Structure 1
Amino acid sequence: MLAFSSQAAAAIPVDGSTSQILIEEYGDSTTVGYTKMPTETIVAAINQPNTLQQLLSNEFGARVVVKNEGVGGIQSSDALAGTDGVHQSWETVMRNSTAQIVSLNFALNDAFFFSQPVAGKPSVSPQGYKAAMAELISIARKYGKEVVLYEPNPSCHPAREPILAYYVMHLDELAAEQNVPLVSQYWEIVSSPNWQSRLSDCTHPRPELYRAKGENAYQVVRHLVKRLVSE
């Protein structure tokens, strides 16, 4: 649910013997936190990873670190092949990563480039997207990572809106098949009145929606962190 009532447990004290729990969040510009202002596009101070960090720190203390690995304009196949301009191949990234938890937030650009193909960019159908996401999950698990899947927020962009739901349906199906924790938010947002007003430019959330997405992520991720803390 996107509503959130904070009744966080007392923070766990951290000392020199307390091991860090690292969460790496991979995704597109909605992971980075882009939002459109009247005169420019900025990275919102209140974005989804920052909100998740705040809520996890409130409950578990400073031992939990959320690292924003988002890159604007990328799709699932870019993360897999290492063609996002920042990261190496997913195999290499996961081999070298010290994170215990990785999250994946892709679909908005997969839908865009399938609807409006661009030379030099993969055009990935919903079925191809599901296959790419399955491979991302498999590789991450091979290196001992807990994986969390994020549904994208909806978009009223004409290249995304007609087909994005099909990508989300395939993601939901994959999460169930692979028993991967899923942060479900697309369907709730898109069924809410005037949901388009929660977006700054038909794709990127306003800070209020970013906060809601972070609160929603917390409800899923905190259970994984709690298990790691108790081990």
Structure 2
Amino acid sequence: MKIANGLRGAGGVLLLMTACASARADALPVQGVQRAQSAPALRAQQAAPQAKVLVEAYGDSTTLGISCSEGHCSPRPQNAVAYLQDALHGAYGERVSVVNLGVGGTMAYQLRDGTDRARGLPWAQKLAASDAQIVTINYGINEVMHNQTPEQFYEAETALVKTALALGKEPVLQTSNPMPDARLNARLAAMVAMTRRVAAEQHVPLVDQYAYIGALPDWRAMMSDGAHPKPELYRLKAAQDFSVVDPLVQRLLAGSS
């Protein structure tokens, strides 16, 4: 599914892909010599591998892409990460890949410590072994459900971002989508405030899904249960992600060209 055009409209992003490379050689005495020298250079340029960008998406079940229908909840292919992948593929082809590493039921501190259900390495070791240039981080809902404090969440997200920066990655923080239950949503707002704080303190990009979705007049109708969006809301989330991730991708591709 190619949704780059739609996401450009939804995300307000105008992709300007300009490849400017024009080098004028000093005057050569013989025109034929200039052609003989430029042809090998052109062949080398054509043979050079294209720059590639890898995005890894970390988070909870709303990153994984769980949606519920008739009381049954499961990961769906129509999720925000998949839609983001489609949009980036539409813009850049195979040069950009997005990998969904969301794990349902998990919290930020578990990603930091390597104690989530994936039973992987601690965050520092995981990222050191990763080829990703961009990592997106989406937590908050399970922190509410498991009675984490905002301060604990702040410490965990700060550690995730600082580690990513130290390892040369581009971290992108995402606030959680809101929850229909007013009491839980009020508690989630405190977690969202921590994510915004970390983004501001560490000077990293933020996708404020909580603010964007909460301002939609019919957002509750686009939720499949008390935490997980329906595919149409995942698509809108992807548009917001695209608006923030795309400039980073453009810069990385331009810097590698």
Fold equivalence (TM over 0.5): yes
Alignment-derived partner of residue 99 in structure 1? 132
Q: Which one has a larger percent helix, Structure 1 or Structure 2?
A: 2
Whole-Å separation in 2 of the counterparts to 1:78 and 1:159: 25
**Native 8 Å contact 2:162 2:202 kept in 1:** no
CA RMSD of aligned residues (A): 2.3
**Native 8 Å contact 1:11 1:61 kept in 2:** no
| Greater Cα offset, 153-162 or 214-223 | 153-162
Whole-Å separation in 1 of the counterparts to 2:65 and 2:183: 21
1:46 aligns with 2:70: no
Percent identical pairs in the alignment equals 35
Quickly say closer, same or farther: Cα 1:159–1:56, change in 2 above 3 A.
Answer: same
1:110 aligns with 2:138: no
1:172 counterpart letter in structure 2: R
1:75 aligns with 2:75: no
1:56 aligns with 2:63: no
**Native 8 Å contact 1:35 1:42 kept in 2:** yes
Quickly say closer, same or farther: Cα 1:88–1:7, change in 2 above 3 A.
Answer: same
| CA-to-aligned-CA distance 1:192-221 (integer Å, 9 cap, x gap) | 324221110021000000000001100000
1:69 counterpart letter in structure 2: L
Alignment-derived partner of residue 121 in structure 1? none
Whole-Å separation in 2 of the counterparts to 1:143 and 1:74: 23
**Native 8 Å contact 2:83 2:238 kept in 1:** yes
How far off is 1:37 after superposition? 1.1
Alignment-derived partner of residue 3 in structure 1? 10
2:184 counterpart letter in structure 1: R
**Native 8 Å contact 2:192 2:210 kept in 1:** yes
**Native 8 Å contact 2:52 2:253 kept in 1:** no
2:122 counterpart letter in structure 1: S
Secondary structure at the residue paired with 2:184? coil
1:224 counterpart letter in structure 2: L
1:142 counterpart letter in structure 2: A
- Structure 1 unaligned blocks of 5 or more: 115-123
How far off is 1:156 after superposition? 2.1
Alignment-derived partner of residue 202 in structure 1? 226
**Native 8 Å contact 1:11 1:60 kept in 2:** no
How far off is 1:43 after superposition? 1.8
Alignment-derived partner of residue 120 in structure 1? none
Alignment-derived partner of residue 37 in structure 1? 69
Alignment-derived partner of residue 23 in structure 1? 55
Quickly say closer, same or farther: Cα 1:61–1:10, change in 2 above 3 A.
Answer: farther
| CA-to-aligned-CA distance 1:12-68 (integer Å, 9 cap, x gap) | 9x9760132110000000000000012522322221111111111111121100000
Find the structure with the greater CA-based Rg. 2
Quickly say closer, same or farther: Cα 1:16–1:200, change in 2 above 3 A.
Answer: farther
Alignment-derived partner of residue 221 in structure 1? 245
Alignment-derived partner of residue 133 in structure 1? 157
Secondary structure at the residue paired with 1:97? coil
Q: Please, which of 163, 167, 174 is the counterpart of residue 198 of structure 2?
A: 174
1:195 counterpart letter in structure 2: W
Aligned residues: 221
How far off is 1:3 after superposition? 3.1
Alignment-derived partner of residue 23 in structure 2? none
**Native 8 Å contact 2:67 2:76 kept in 1:** yes
Secondary structure at the residue paired with 2:146? helix
How far off is 1:188 after superposition? 2.5
How far off is 1:7 after superposition? 6.0
